[in-house]
Structures are given as structure tokens and as C-alpha cells.
């Protein structure tokens, strides 16, 4: 029997340089997709998957993220008095139970692997999830929930995987897989950001993981990898070499790379079009733009 996954690490200590100057003072994870910060999408997905302990690995300049999770009683009271029950409900749905969130500081941006390792004492000897909030995934069932259900059948490590165009492999960790069939694919190896001609497949890993504590032990060595950073991919690949199974999970759903400007814009349009209160006006505007080809002046 696999042990239940109840803890998730959210590594949010990166500098978010692709969104400068906004990220000079606003953490990327607080930037809003329609009307919710990116991090709220990740939290909702984690809760739906049964996560009860939320561990944020943060850095200098991320205090807005911590403040976001405070209960805002003044605002709640004011909405109550004005009878704005819908808004009150929206607000209260974001409230987290006291003690459910922990913050750990990564003192230097040494890489994703290092950020995850910073949370090792809070994880202990349990399986855990890792979620990168800038990957936003929409779909019929929350991605992490799909993965945890699959993990409960297989054990081992499970990473979210999707096929990408060959020329894009150098932006991802890529799985070396045998027969690339079915939803759950056992990996023979894993490489971080391979050049297209060196990529073992086009099955890329995106920001959802269910991992064994052995990955944290592998990170103890603090080995530098691709880009001079301590890579999570390398620590997972080490598990494969040690005989611990690693599976790529081809999730159902659409992934938006909100760590990039183009991806963020696409997600904004897609999520707004999915909203009844915004759909008609936006569709009309997009149609007008497409026919006149007019941009902001
Ligand atoms: P990215 O590669 O997207 O880096 O990190 P970034 O700093 O967020 O953004 P850019 O590239 O400068 O625009 C992927 C995830 O890993 C976390 C980031 O916060 C993000 O969630 N990360 C990365 C850390 O927590 N610490 C690190 O040292 C590096």
C-alpha cells in the first residue's frame, strides 16, 4: 500500500525575470489570471487532490504572497454588512486553515532542486507533491488528483508529462521512455533541457510531481546540473539509476505556461472565455480585433 500524499511543496523562490519590470515588486505567483492570482489555481488543485499541508519555498520580495493567505476580516465584515454574499463567498473560499501553510526561505536561487530540498525537514519520510504555480492546467479533473490516483496504483515517482514539439525540448526536462504508449509511461532516464538532437524523446516534464523522499536524499549532494543550477530532474533521474521506478503521467487537460508572457496571455484569454460573465464581451472584442487587425496604440 502506498502512503497517502498530504504534503505539497510550492517552489516560488525564482526571480521571475521574464516578467520584469512587474516582478520587481510583485511576485509572479500573485499576478492575476482573470481575477485570481496564479497561486490560487495551484492551491485549489492541491486541495482537490487531498493535500492538507502546503509548503511554500519563498525568497526575498515575496511577502505579498504570504499576505495573500491572511484572512481579511475587515473586508469580510464589510462585504457582510453590505450583503455582498457572492463576493464574501469568493473571498472565504480562499481562506486557509491556520497552520496549514508553512514558509521556508531559499536564501539563494540555486535552482528548482535546491528549492525543493529546502523543504526536506517539513517533508520527513513521506511521499510528497511538488507544484509549480506558473504551470496552470485546466481539464476535466485536476491534474494533481489524476496523478495521485495513478500513483496510488503504481507507487514510485510520478511526473506530469506532455508531448512538445521537438525544437522545444531544450526548455524542459525530457523523459527517456521505451514504448511511448498509454497514459502511464515508465522512464528509463531523464535529462534536463536537452538540445533537440540529443533529446531521448519529445515527452517533456511539466510542473507537477509526486515524489518519494528518496529524491530529497539524492538532493543532499547538492550537485550542480544544467545551467549551473541544482536540478530536480537530476535527483529524480538518480532514483531511476537506483532502481526506484519513475513514471511519466500523460494527464488529461490543457497546460498553460504562465511563466512566459505568451503563455500567460493565452491563459488569460482561454480562462476569460470560459467565464460566463466575460465570454460574450471578450469574444466580440477578439472578433473585432481579428477583423481590423488593430493593436493598442
Ligand atoms: P523558472 O525557471 O520559471 O524561473 O522556475 P523563475 O525565476 O520563476 O522565472 P524566470 O525564468 O526568471 O522568468 C521554475 C519554478 O522554480 C522556482 C520558481 O519560483 C518557479 O516556480 N525556483 C526556481 C525556485 O523556487 N528557486 C530557484 O532557485 C529556481
The reply to whether omega before 21 is within 30° of 0 (cis) is yes
Q: How far is the CA of 15 from the centre of ligand 1 (A)?
A: 6
Instruction: Please state, rounded to an integer, the average pLDDT across all residues of the chain.
Output: 93
C-alpha cell at 127: 511521499
The mean per-residue pLDDT over the stretch 72-76 comes to: 91
Pocket test for ligand 1, best of 112, 172, 219, 263 (most atoms within 8 A of CB): 112
Please report the pLDDT score of residue 180 as a whole number: 65
Q: Are 134 and 39 in contact (CB under 8 A)?
A: no
Q: Is ligand 1 within 6 A of the CB of residue 134?
A: yes
- In the predicted model, what is the mean pLDDT of residues 18-29? 93
- The grid coordinates of residue 151 equal 500513483
Ligand 1 pocket, 292 CB below 6 A? Answer: no
CB atoms inside a 10 Å sphere around CB 99: 7
Task: Read off the pLDDT of each residue in 105-116 and give the average, rounded to a whole number.
Answer: 95
The whole-angstrom separation of Cα 67 and Cα 272 is 26
Q: Residues 80-96: pLDDT tens digits?
A: 999 999 999 999 999 99
Domain 7-259: state its class.
Answer: alpha beta
Predicted local distance difference test score (pLDDT) of residue 1: 66
Domain boundaries defined on the chain:
7-259
Q: How confident is the model at residue 266 (pLDDT cuts 50, 70, 90)?
A: very high
Res 28: pLDDT: 94
pLDDT band per the 50, 70, 90 thresholds, residue 225: confident
User: What does the longest C-alpha to C-alpha distance in the chain come to?
Assistant: 63
Parallel, antiparallel or unpaired: strands 203-211 and 173-177:
antiparallel
pLDDT number for residue 275: 95
% of the chain with per-residue pLDDT over 90: 83
**Cβ 115 under 6 angstroms from ligand 1:** yes
39 lines ligand 1 (CB under 6 A): no
What would the grid cell of residue 43 be? 492551491
Distances (CA, A) of 29 to 41, 46, 179, 251, 259: 10, 15, 36, 23, 9
Q: Per residue in 130-151, pLDDT tens?
A: 999 999 999 999 999 999 999 9
Assessment of whether the complete model's pTM goes beyond 0.85: yes
Among protein residues, the one whose CA lies closest to atom 25 of ligand 1: 13
Amino acid at each position: 500500500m502506498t502512503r497517502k500524499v498530504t504534503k505539497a511543496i510550492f517552489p516560488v523562490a525564482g526571480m521571475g525575470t521574464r516578467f520584469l519590470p512587474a516582478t520587481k515588486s510583485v511576485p509572479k505567483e500573485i499576478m492575476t489570471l482573470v481575477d485570481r492570482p496564479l497561486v490560487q489555481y495551484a492551491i485549489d488543485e492541491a486541495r482537490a487532490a487531498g493535500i492538507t499541508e502546503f509548503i511554500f519555498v519563498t525568497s526575498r520580495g515575496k511577502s505579498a504572497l504570504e499576505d495573500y493567505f491572511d484572512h481579511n476580516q475587515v473586508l469580510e465584515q464589510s462585504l457582510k454588512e453590505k450583503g455582498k454574499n457572492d463576493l464574501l463567498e469568493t473571498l472565504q473560499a480562499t481562506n486557509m486553515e491556520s497552520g496549514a501553510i508553512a514558509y521556508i526561505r531559499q536564501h539563494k536561487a540555486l535552482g528548482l532542486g535546491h528549492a525543493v530540498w529546502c523543504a526536506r525537514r517539513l517533508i520527513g519520510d513521506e511521499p510528497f507533491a511538488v507544484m509549480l504555480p506558473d504551470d496552470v492546467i485546466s481539464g476535466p479533473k485536476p491534474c494533481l488528483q489524476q496523478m495521485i490516483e495513478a500513483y496510488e496504483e503504481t507507487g514510485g515517482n510520478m511526473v506530469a508529462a506532455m508531448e512538445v514539439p521537438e525544437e522545444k525540448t531544450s526548455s524542459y526536462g525530457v523523459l527517456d521512455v521505451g514504448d511511448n504508449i498509454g497514459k502511464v509511461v515508465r522512464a528509463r532516464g531523464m535529462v534536463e533541457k536537452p538540445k533537440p538532437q540529443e533529446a531521448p524523446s519529445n515527452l517533456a516534464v511539466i510542473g507537477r510531481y509526486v515524489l518519494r523522499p528518496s529524491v530529497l536524499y539524492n538532493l543532499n549532494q547538492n550537485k550542480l546540473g544544467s545551467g549551473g543550477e541544482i536540478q530536480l530532474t537530476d535527483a529524480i533521474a538518480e532514483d531511476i539509476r537506483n532502481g526506484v521506478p519513475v513514471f511519466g503521467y500523460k494527464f488529461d487537460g490543457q497546460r498553460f505556461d504562465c511563466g512566459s508572457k505568451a503563455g500567460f496571455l493565452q491563459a488569460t484569454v482561454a480562462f476569460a472565455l470560459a467565464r460566463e460573465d466575460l465570454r460574450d464581451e471578450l469574444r466580440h472584442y477578439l472578433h473585432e480585433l481579428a477583423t481590423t487587425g488593430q493593436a493598442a496604440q
